[in-house]
Structure 1
Amino acid sequence: MNIDSESIPGYHIIKEDESDYTSDQLSIHEIPRAARLVREYVHPKQIKFNSITLREPKKQEYKAWQNGKGPKPPRRAFVTILELPTAKTSEVLVNLNTSQVEEIKAINDVMPTLTLEDLDICERVCRADAGVIEACREIGITDMSKVFIDAWAIGIDERWGFETRLQQGLAYYRDSEFDNQYAKPLDFSVVVDTEREKVLSVDIRRVNGQRVPMPTESHNYLPEFISDHYNHDLLKPIEITQPKGVSFSMRGNEISWAGFSMHIGFNFREGIVLSDVRVFDQIQNRERKLFNRISVVEMVVPYGCPDGPHHKKHAFDVGEYGTGLMTNPLTLGCDCKGAIHYLDAIVSTGKGEAAVIKNAICIHEEDNGLLFKHTDYRDGKVVSARDRKLIISQIITAANYEYCFYHIFSLDGTYKLEMKLTGMLNTYVLHDSETAAPYGTEVAKRVTAHNHQHIFSLRIDPEIDGSNNTVVQSDAVASEEPVGSAGNKYGNGFYSKKTPLKTSAQAGVNYCHETSRTWDIINPNVQHPSAKKPVGYKIVSRESPPLLAKPGSVVYKRAGFARKTLWVTPYKDYELFPAGDYVCQSTGEDGHPQNGTMVDWAARDENIENTDLVCYLQFGLTHFPRAEDFPIMPGEAISIMLRASNFFDRNPALWVPPSELKGNSCDTSSRYAVFPKVAKAIDDAKCCGGAGASSKL
């Protein structure tokens, strides 16, 4: 039985309109049309739609059309279906221009994404299951409406194979409506058969043979519980206004801002997809290509407690659930402030309908501090300009956690992805005889939050001034010449050691703090006129924790992409997801014939020099929970950045007008106001013919 999609918060069903832009998400008209064509093709089989999404055209076909050398690629839908009541999975390719099914292919030994409708099944069937009811009764809970189950992908459970789609459920309790369930974790978990809607196992953890009682203290954070503690007088309002409007313009899903142009797409799995990213170079008076495609293609959150059931907690939020499906409808003043432009997201339901997430993408500008400044200490002449950033964002709710995705462009040509983590800690109940250490922190009495990591994978398909690029590793190292030698007499020499990454096997590399390691994506065919170096963009990734799960572990196998900070592979159409196309219940074993991973791609050891390539950048944090993270976490931000490196002839932001103060420039009224002692000493030295100047400093 499918959950009616109208019951999913943030979704509503509409059935009109259509877009025909090649990279746009499927429209509310195209999704049900694709579903109808697939149903007719597979009749009389009964099916459920797992996903219906845009099948982007092959790169060369798209480029040929862009350059006027080929026809416009047809709109295609990529559809994943399940044959009811089994978990048999097939992929279907539908040509929406011709209304034809072009291809259908059965996929063996894989499990597709768990949708929000699938996840809702877990809580519903658990509340009615006799085993769950008995597990609750043993610890004094008789009102099952107060029991809540967070549904997670299960990873691997040795008791079951690929005969069914599985979920694990983590149990909590609420005393009253809106009570904080994460303050009252229960001592059992469940395993659920998604397709048969059946509880397979209730796994109870006992300590010294006894059940672990539920914590009883409430730790609520909502206004209805704690508004008496609010202090409204400490903070004064901040108003954000743009009286002349925003500086960006939209044409459909194409945005132009401060010389940047790009297309903003969206799909159920990756969420925001940026493509055709270009910049207008005012010095060279031409538009230049930067990136073909940018998206977050995977993330893994492995938990560090080896005891059951926590060893099964390693969520792949992109591949197992889809960041697009978990996207929030955003609200002005709460999620975004200022002059906002919103884009809706369109996803499919199990019935093959189109569901719209209103205001899923927020686009706005923010001040970004100083862009550049210099004060000439001799005459007090000051030039100062303010930076600004364009932010394209979405926020997802993944059970307990919120992840905020901010794609940021600034006036000096920089692109940055910032992730902000907030929401709720995943909690578990402690027995009075237990301690949380070393694998967690007791954030409240008898409530533990376990150590865990968040490792994100950003996929960059570059086109730095052309299709053929190379990645060069840069390490800051001291000169090899010994102190006192002719080449390094005083021993102070250091330089950037450049190492071209030549093959995909060689290009699986880690960040090195000792050498401030960065990587340059260069075009070796285009030289900078004065630097005499290839034009490029530099990858700056200083927040790159190593995967702490040991080699041979389940997580290490399943999250092979997280073993390295950077991977580089040659571009291949539809090779996108580094943990595999099908992540749910994957084993991570190398060489799966239908579900290749980053480890498999790198092992091909193909050429990546001066060719069409793709970079996978891993970054994140290792989270040792604090008491301050409970009952709701303050946001914690991490980021990765790509900066122009000998790409522009000079500072590309010189066109930005200097800041003004009361209608004038930021020049000081007197040079004495900036460096009075220095300026006066210089004057004194001049009037005295230079004598005694140093004594006056």
Structure 2
Amino acid sequence: MGPDTEIIAGYEVYTPQAAADYGRSTRNSTSTAVHPLDQLSITEITDAASIVKGHYGNTGVKFNTITLKEPKKVDYVAFRDSNGPRPDREAFVITVTKGHHVVNEVMVSLTKKTVLEVREIADVMPILTLEDLDVCERVARNDPRVIETCREIGLTDMSKVFFDGWAVGADERYGFDRRLQQGLAYWRASELDNQYAHPLDFAVVIDTEKEEVLRIDIRKVDGKRVAVPKDQHNFLPDFIQDGYVTDRLKPIEITQPQGVSFTMNGNELSWAGFHMHIGFNYREGIVINDVSVDDMYEQRRRMLFNRLSVAEMVVPYGNPDIPHHRKHAFDIGEYGMGLMTNPLKVGCDCKGAIKYLDAVMSTSQGYAAVLPNAVCIHEEDNGLLYKHTDYRDGTVVSARDRKLIISQIITAANYEYGFYHTFSLDGTYKLEVKLTGILNTVPLTETEEAAPFGTRVAKNLNAHNHQHIFSLRIDPAIDGLKNTVIQNDAVSSEIPVGDTGNLYGNAFYCKKTPLKTSKEGACDYNHDTSRTWDIVNTNKINPACQKPVGYKIISRESPNLLCKPGSLVWRRAGFTRKTLWVTKYREGELFPAGDYVCQSTGQPGWPSNETVVDWAERNDNIENEDIVCWLQFGITHFPRTEDFPLMPAEPLSVMLRASNFFQKNPALWVPPASHDPDTASKDLNKCCEGAKTSTADLGVGKISAKL
């Protein structure tokens, strides 16, 4: 850390002087030009802020966002595929006028060092930054009315009262003349105490820019305040180290004595035939671009995906009581997955030989803020890749799979989410999300029941029912930019039992339905038919099967949104109404719940904040077009006592698998496994010798218990 930098909330913040010093120290150390999709650097963020300040003059401005303005797709693809000109570096900046609620979008050319465009955006509110959330706690804790509200339930030391800042959603009491937050109140008995064991019976609504408390919403039972739950439910080592059992588990050592199998050139990564670019931004966190694969059969590199990102998520809570009806967090659109990212630690968050990438974001002053180790890249064993035992001649062939994992972990108030973008040797991409952290709790009286809208997870503690629904944005390029989506349903033959063609009634097949328009591209999951979708390129035919090459979308964890149609959440989280949306690609359409989610109303056709619901209504042709797929997945969480005080990680995932993309198993290049890696090249079947000898004398059709 230099003399002009400081550590704030885990970020190393660079003043303009520190950024200038950094720029001078690195200017001559970079051998290649910046990749057009690389996140903005420390110096670029500082330069963008300086250019914007110069444009505004003496007008007080607060920087909400300074991030990369990705080049137009047509320009970038020309650069990537056809040796076209390198796109200019541009920044996208969102500003808020200090003390007011005027929101502007500013486009900045970093190449030309000038402002390209300024747009004032009406009736929207930008993302809540970490600095904004700190405002909520500071203002609420010092407000005389809040102090009196705490005194009424016996709390007089406000240093022990804490407020989690949440977006307020839409509050009918206020319009768009105020930038709102709600603060959920908790108490701590000591510095390291678990505050979620001591929820308070009220929430505050504050004006972020005016820095004032507007309302205190108190939930009373039979006209009375609810007492503070005081029982301790702590989990940090400081409290329970004497309760640890240390002799049950032996150490597991993960070593890669010859190093990792992936290489990186800047942020471009190559691994086991895969190639991609790893980006990062304040809102989506990890962004993976230019995913391609080396095809051993066709002897060429083939495109798979232009861009992959987690574009939105929503956590609607199911208790209808005021003020809990406002709890439906859009953790990406309202707070930013990049902004909430943890700095990762070896041995705790990732194991093995690891490559870390830092994240570079911005502060309200326009300073660059670096979060170290925001992204972890590493390999893991992935179990069985392929195997076959021939019981006739005793031959066995078996190989181990391996996966490359590109991950980040975020903290969204009480919850943690781990996002793991995973590639495996058979050409599969899988997004796995792990949910952990602490349940959001509210206090119960002795006579209240938590059911039906929650669970009593401990004495006087209610954890409400809720859902976690994520949206994976898939910009496909399956062997080219023109793609089509086909819906697959497993169905029984329509031919009656006993009739010719289905004499014994056992016939079934895959019913394939091409999705022709964006309205048809709004699809539900169907458990009865094990529904999947193929993203295919009808212009490229697999010579082995004479079918279009494709990749299959597999998503079996697809809960329906349980909030009623017409409800506030149903309107605001319109993307959750369908498992899959397929839209025609248009520039700037990145976020399915809209560009500005804070205080959004979800009204259809809102021109300043369109959503995927509006894009589907255009009814564009989506056959053999440049398309985007929006895939929803998640869980419905009815809390358990086992989830408290610290929730065991719960995984869920979606998958994109090759479907007639390759002419045969793309992983046959992987040598069979060997117990002894030093002799693997000499005797690839060493690990199978036991099975080979145990079946040597078997007759056809006999099974040996030794296997």
What is the aligned partner in structure 1 of residue 580 from structure 2?
A: 566
Q: Tell me the distance in 1 between the aligned counterparts of 2:487 and 2:377.
A: 33
1:149 equivalenced with 2:163 (yes/no):
yes
Determine whether 1:667 maps to 2:681.
no
Quick one: distance in 2 between partners of 1:326 and 1:406?
16
Provide the secondary structure at the position in 2 that maps to 1:357: strand
The answer to whether structure 1 residue 635 and structure 2 residue 658 are counterparts is no
CA distance in 2, matches of 1:669, 1:221: 47
Deviations 1:234-258 (A, max 9, x none): 0100000001000000100000000
Q: Tell me, in whole angstroms, the C-alpha distance in 1 between the residues paired with 2:69 and 2:125.
A: 20
Q: 2:606 aligned to 592, 602, 613, which one?
A: 592
Paired residues in the alignment total 680
**In the alignment, which residue of structure 2 is the partner of 1:37?**
51
Q: 2:125 matched to 1:111?
A: yes
Q: Secondary structure at the match of 1:168?
A: strand
- In structure 2, the residue matched to 1:298 is 312
2:403 aligned with 1:389: yes
Question: In structure 1, how many angstroms separate the alpha carbons of the residues matched to 2:692 and 2:414?
Answer: 56
- Residue 141 of structure 2: SS of its match in structure 1? helix
Give the CA deviation at 1:667.
2.6
Please name the residue that 2:30 is paired with: none
Q: In structure 2, the residue corresponding to 1:272 is in which secondary structure?
A: strand
Q: Does 1:182 align with 2:196?
A: yes
Correspondence 1:136-285 to 2 at 5 A: 136-285=150-299
Counterpart of 1:66 in 2: which secondary structure? helix
Is the Cα–Cα contact under 8 Å of residues 393 and 695 in structure 2 kept in the other structure? no
Partner of 1:620: 634
How far apart, in 2, do the equivalents of 1:82 and 1:671 lie?
72
**Residue 399 of structure 1 aligns with which residue?**
413
Q: Which residue of 1 aligns with 2:380?
A: 366
Q: Distance in 2 between matches of 1:436 and 1:229?
A: 30
How much has 1:680 moved relative to structure 2?
Answer: 9.3
Deviation (angstroms), 1:676: 7.0
Secondary structure of the 1:148 match is: strand
Q: How far does the alpha carbon of each residue in 1:142-182 deviate from its partner, in whole angstroms, 9 at most, with x for none?
A: 00000010000000111111001000000000000110000
Q: State the identity as a percent.
A: 65
Correspondence for 2:460 among 443, 446, 449: 446
What displacement does 1:682 show?
10
1:499-578 superposed matches below 5 A: 499-578=513-592
Native 8 Å contact 2:391 2:703 kept in 1: no
CA distance in 2, matches of 1:294, 1:6: 33
The answer (yes or no) to whether the contact 2:275–2:290 under 8 Å persists in 1 is: yes
| Separation in 2, partners of 1:682, 1:432 | 63
SS of 2:689's equivalent in the other structure is: coil
Per-residue deviation, 1:668: 3.3
Determine the structure 2 residue equivalent to 1:356. 370
Instruction: State whether residues 103 and 125 of structure 2, in contact with CA within 8 Å, keep that contact through their aligned partners in structure 1.
Output: yes
Encode CA deviations 1:595-624: one digit per residue, 9 max, x unaligned: 100110011111000000000000000000
User: What is the CA-CA distance between 1:669 and the residue it aligns to?
Assistant: 3.8
- The alpha carbon displacement at 1:679 in A equals 5.6
How far the C-alpha of 1:484 sits from its partner, in A, is 1.2
Runs (5+) with no aligned partner, structure 1: 684-697
Residue 672 of structure 1: how far off its partner (Å):
6.0
Give the Å deviation of 1:472. 0.2
1:469–1:523: 8 Å Cα contact kept in structure 2?
yes
Tell me, in whole angstroms, the C-alpha distance in 2 between the residues paired with 1:260 and 1:42: 45
TM-fit CA distance, 1:429 = 0.3
> TM-score by structure 1 length?
0.96
Q: Name the structure 2 match of 1:10.
A: 10
The Cα offsets for residues 362-392 of structure 1, whole Å up to 9 and x where unpaired, read as 0000000000000000111000000000000
- TM-score, scaled to structure 2: 0.95
The answer to whether the 8 Å contact 2:170/2:601 transfers is: yes
Cα deviation code 1:302-345 (max 9, x no counterpart): 00011111110000011000000000000000000000000000
> Which has the larger displacement, 13-22 or 116-125?
13-22
Q: Distance in 1 between matches of 2:325 and 2:690?
A: 66
Q: In structure 2, what is the Cα distance between the partners aligned to 1:208 and 1:198?
A: 30
AA matched with 1:8: I
Instruction: Label 1:680 to 1:653 Cα distance change in 2 as closer, same or farther (>3 A).
Output: closer
Structure 1: how far apart are the matches of 2:703 and 2:69? 69
Shift of 1:5: 9.8
Maintained 8 Å contact 1:183/1:215: yes
Is the 1:380–1:667 contact (alpha carbons within 8 Å) kept by the matching residues of 2? Answer: no
3-state SS in 1 of match to 2:46: helix
Task: State the distance in 1 between where 2:531 and 2:110 align.
Answer: 47
**Unmatched tracts of structure 2, length 5 or more:** 28-32
Out of 399, 402, 423, the residue aligned to residue 409 of structure 1 is 423
1:484 corresponds to: 498
For structure 1, which segment, 15-24 or 352-361, has the greater mean C-alpha deviation from structure 2 after superposition?
15-24
CA deviations over 1:210-269 (Å, ceiling 9, x no partner): 110011100000000001110000010000000100000010000000000000000000
Query: Deviation at 1:100?
Result: 1.0
2:146 corresponds, among 128, 132, 136, to: 132
1:628-650 Cα deviation digits (max 9, x unpaired)? 00000000000000000000010
Q: Answer whether contact 1:261 1:276 (CA < 8 A) is retained.
A: yes
Equivalence for 1:652: 666
